[in-house]
Amino acid sequence: MKTKDPRRSKKVNPAKTKLHDFLMQFSPVTEYKFHPVRKWRFDYCWPDIKLAVEFEGGTFTGGGHTRGGIYGQNCEKYNEAAIMGYMVLRFTAPQVRSCEAYETFDRAWEKFIGRGR
């Protein structure tokens, strides 16, 4: 599957680019359509182990991830993913900048794979 590079979008989010570069060393499927009926996608996914990562942009600027309608749709998506057995890690820009995102991902990766990077 083709990898979507966040640097190609109109507005470059440095935190999303950093997270993208970090996660690519683990060979994820990007923009993975996980649901058989809905068009929901994960930003990054390892379908064989049911691990996914979502970058929640705009959380401090009134972006879609924090507005009522879209927030509700995301809740539906994440609930369905949980029912299907996925662990979905969700990260904000401050979590990427502080390295919390990397530390959390490493712990999840070790749980699923049995070894760190």
Give the pLDDT confidence of 44-85 residue by residue, as tens digits: 999 999 999 999 876 554 554 554 567 788 899 999 999 999
Q: Could you tell me the pLDDT band of residue 2, with boundaries at 50, 70 and 90?
A: low
Instruction: For residue 95, tell me if it sits in a domain.
Output: yes
Q: What percent of the chain has pLDDT over 90?
A: 67
For the chain, report the end-to-end CA distance as a whole number of angstroms: 23
Instruction: For residue 5, tell me if it sits in a domain.
Output: no
Enclosing domain of residue 63: 13-111
Number of domains composing the chain: 1
Instruction: For residue 7, tell me if it sits in a domain.
Output: no
Where do the H-state alpha helices sit in the chain? 14-24, 68-83, 93-97, 100-113
